[in-house]
Amino acid sequence: MFVLSNVTKFFGAREVLRGVSLTVMDGDRVGIIGPNGCGKTTLLRLMAGEIEPDSGEVRIEKGRRIGILHQEIERKQEGGVIDYLLGSISPLKKLSEMESNLMNRIEDANIEENHNEFQKTFQDLAHLFERYRLEGGYDIVYRAQKILSGLGFSSDDIHMDVNFLSGGMRMRLELGRLLLEEPDALLLDEPTNHLDIESMRWLEKYLEDFKGSLIIISHDRRFLNKLVKVIVAIDDGAAKVYRGSYDGYRKQREIELEHAWKAYQQQQARIAEIKEFIARNRVRKDRAKVVQGRIRMLEKMEILPQPKSLKKMDFDFPQPERTGSPVIVLDGVTMKFENKLVMDGVNLSILRGEKVAVVGSNGSGKTTLLRIMAGLLEPTAGKVSYGVNVKVHYYAQHLLDSLSPELTVMEEMSAIAGKDVSVQTIRDVLGAFRFSTDEEVQKKVKFLSGGEKSRLCLAKMMLMPASLILMDEPTNHLDIDSREVLERALVKYTGTLVFVSHDREFINSVAQRVIEIKDGKIDSFAGDYDYYESKKMEGSQERVERVLKEKKDEGEKKVETKLHGKKQRDQKRVEAEMRNILYRETKPLAEEMRKIEERIEELEAGQRKREEQMADPVIAGDALKMKDIAKEYGETTKLIEELFSRWAQINEKIEEIRKNRTFEINKGEEME
């Protein structure tokens, strides 16, 4: 599908990609990784045909439909959310425009003067509705709603004007547009940037079922491990292909580096040995030929470059003073914004040394919680209290405005560094956050991008002691290596940490407790992200398992022969209970489906009657009557479309409930 042969690309005098060769076949699932600014997005744009290489060749198979998601929105977005999404489907968009034109012609027609033309227009409209149905027009509405729901759009959001959406929601809408179009290849540049964890999991499932080629730029390790089978690692302009997941790439890369270091050290030892021989024997005439041979050997030797260090870069946060415990307590905290209740009587205590991750859907109140804890937001009700000696540092995107625009990166860091912090330590910390060269550290803050400013703020925190660190999305704008530097520093940090993140691997590495915010309440899970996810997946299964365990414990006190019979009876009783629960849960949905089916049948009968009226010569002679019928026909067709969409949603919900309950019964049988 894509073939890149010895591709090189410059931007100005800078060589971004050098001699890249890569083949992507139908159905391949490729992850592109590398440090920020290494050329990942450039490679993606070359593959999409948006830019041309300076040398080499990019071949894209003809007739293939390619969809690309950029980090920045380039398409002009207008209209309502659902209309924007449906408008991206070209054949249906054309049919919709034809329908609108025909309806306008019917509305504007002078029926008495143009009776025959009116009849033809009406027939064209009837044929158009049939074409719309055959080309999946009714199904596409349901698919669009399902995609938007999966990406975190509420039922109210899908009717909003696109101009009122936040930047993050616009990016999610653009991703939804691509998913709905179902191209032959999806090229996604950081698709998880604006997704909460729930939406991220939904996208993973969607992309797992995607049949085309998938090429993803991402710094999310868990996302890559779930979806890709090939890793393209870009470093210093060169691209190397590794087969397997991201974790597989890491293992291969470590082995490569070990071998490279071994070969490098062996060669350096051999060079030293040869040089020592030359120095020792240069003055001896009887060894002149041998010495000249060794000199030529050195001249012809292909010197191996020094490999990257096997040692991972590590830094420590300044260790804080010992504080009282708990470090911070929220007592009955309520927060309202106008008529929206964000937090409802929240009670929360964070102990000294705890590392707590805060999760929840977009807009659930995660940032609000951190701002209240930081003292930047006064709660509507309740109070916040701190332990003894607690010093708070808060990292969030708004801190970018606190940087001094006229200072250089190095000056900004030096201004907050203690006297005992050396220049080399500051340079090492900056290097960990991708400020490596003299040019980068001497760059003025006002010329930094948003991502560079975020990284500078994080680097500053590495030099500032605090007993309570609050961090809102600290991994945004960080590549994988920088994320891991921050992870290791936070794991070793002896103070107290509360952070919001959508990076599941980051949460899993750092957090000892996970707090979920939902509907103004909090739920606490004493463990890492994997523990939190497992508890969430258990859900209603816990009740079934508890019942079964109680019956099993009772049975162990009885004779074995009776135990077997009792277990069978218990299992049957639980299965009957689960069937009753299933019936109660699906009954209102099934009833709604039945009413929808009846309504559709009623509407379709009305449509058939209107078609008969159209064919009736008597009615056809009544121009005004024909015009009214045409209008009713169009409105009813759209109503039937909406009802079919709702019916499909309900049916899917019932199947999901049945699947979950069946799993619970089977789980119970395994426990027995």
- Please count the other Cβ atoms lying within 10 Å of the Cβ belonging to residue 546: 10
Q: Which stretch of DSSP H or E encloses residue 96?
A: helix 90-108
Query: Which residue shows structure tokens 């999404």?
Result: 85
Flag whether pLDDT at 157 surpasses 70.
Answer: yes
CA distance 63 to 81: 29
The residue with greater pLDDT, 66 or 639, is: 66
CA distance 200 to 362: 11
CA distance 130 to 607: 12
Nearest alpha-carbon partner for 610 in 590, 586, 592, 627 = 627
Instruction: For residues 318-339, give the mean pLDDT.
Output: 90
The residue with greater pLDDT, 74 or 162, is: 162
Could you tell me which residues come within 8 angstroms of residue 640 by beta carbon, excluding any fewer than 6 positions away?
A: 138, 600, 603, 604, 607
Instruction: For residues 402-413, give the mean pLDDT.
Output: 90
Give the per-residue pLDDT at 568.
Answer: 55
CB 297 within 8 A of CB 323: no
SS3 state of residue 301: coil
CB 417 within 8 A of CB 463: yes
Cα–Cα separations (whole angstroms), residue 644 to 139, 142, 181, 462, 595 = 8, 8, 21, 56, 12
The residue with greater pLDDT, 198 or 645, is: 198
Q: In the structure encoding, which two tokens stand for residue 445, read together?
A: 């803050």
How would residue 537 be classed by pLDDT, with cut points 50, 70 and 90?
confident
User: Minimum mean pLDDT among 32-41, 115-124, 179-188: which range?
Assistant: 115-124
Cα–Cα separations (whole angstroms), residue 483 to 173, 270, 279, 458 = 27, 38, 48, 11
Q: Are strands 468-472 and 496-500 parallel, antiparallel or unpaired?
A: parallel
Q: In the structure encoding, which two tokens stand for residue 317, read together?
A: 């946060």
Strand order in the sheet with 14-24: 14-24, 2-11, 55-60
Instruction: For residues 420-429, give the mean pLDDT.
Output: 87
CB 284 within 8 A of CB 401: no
Flag whether pLDDT at 204 surpasses 80.
Answer: yes
User: Minimum mean pLDDT among 29-33, 475-479, 616-620: which range?
Assistant: 616-620
pLDDT for 345-383, tens place per residue?
Answer: 999 999 999 999 999 988 899 999 999 999 999 999 999
Give the per-residue pLDDT at 144.
Answer: 82
Model pTM above 0.85: no
Could you tell me which residues come within 8 angstroms of residue 46 by beta carbon, excluding any fewer than 6 positions away?
A: 4, 7, 9, 17, 52, 53, 58
Total residues belonging to the chain: 672
The amino acid present at 368, given as its one-letter code, is T
* Sign of the four-CA dihedral 70, 74, 80, 84: negative
Instruction: For residues 110-117, give the mean pLDDT.
Output: 54
Give the per-residue pLDDT at 101.
Answer: 61
How would residue 471 be classed by pLDDT, with cut points 50, 70 and 90?
very high
The amino acid present at 205, given as its one-letter code, is K
The residue with greater pLDDT, 92 or 603, is: 603
How would residue 161 be classed by pLDDT, with cut points 50, 70 and 90?
confident
pLDDT for 250-278, tens place per residue?
Answer: 999 999 999 999 999 999 999 999 999 99
Q: In the structure encoding, which two tokens stand for residue 72, read together?
A: 């920045």
Question: How far is Cα of residue 456 from the mean position of the Cα atoms in its chain?
Answer: 24
- Highest-confidence segment of 85-99, 124-138, 529-543: 529-543
510, with CB counted inside 10 A (0-12, 13-18, 19+), is buried
Question: Packing angle between helix 115-134 and helix 560-615, nearest 10 degrees?
Answer: 160
CA distance 227 to 186: 13
pLDDT for 70-99, tens place per residue?
Answer: 887 655 666 788 778 777 655 555 555 555
CA distance 172 to 163: 14
Q: In the structure encoding, which two tokens stand for residue 235, read together?
A: 């470093």
- Please count the other Cβ atoms lying within 10 Å of the Cβ belonging to residue 490: 21
Give the per-residue pLDDT at 491.
Answer: 93
- HSE, CB side, 13 Å, CA atoms: give it for residue 285: 0
Give the per-residue pLDDT at 132.
Answer: 57
Average pLDDT, the chain: 82
pLDDT for 427-466, tens place per residue?
Answer: 988 888 878 888 999 999 988 877 788 888 888 888 888 9
Flag whether pLDDT at 547 surpasses 50.
Answer: no
pLDDT for 214-247, tens place per residue?
Answer: 999 999 999 999 999 999 999 989 999 999 999 9
User: Minimum mean pLDDT among 174-178, 271-275, 399-403, 622-626: which range?
Assistant: 622-626
How would residue 137 be classed by pLDDT, with cut points 50, 70 and 90?
low
CA distance 543 to 179: 37
Give the per-residue pLDDT at 543.
Answer: 46
Flag whether pLDDT at 561 surpasses 50.
Answer: no
Question: Packing angle between helix 167-181 and helix 137-150, nearest 10 degrees?
Answer: 140
Flag whether pLDDT at 557 surpasses 50.
Answer: no
The residue with greater pLDDT, 155 or 200, is: 200
Instruction: For residues 630-644, give the mean pLDDT.
Output: 78
Give the per-residue pLDDT at 220.
Answer: 94
The residue with greater pLDDT, 622 or 50, is: 50
Give the per-residue pLDDT at 359.
Answer: 95
* Helix, strand, coil percent values for the chain (each to nearest 5): 55, 20, 30
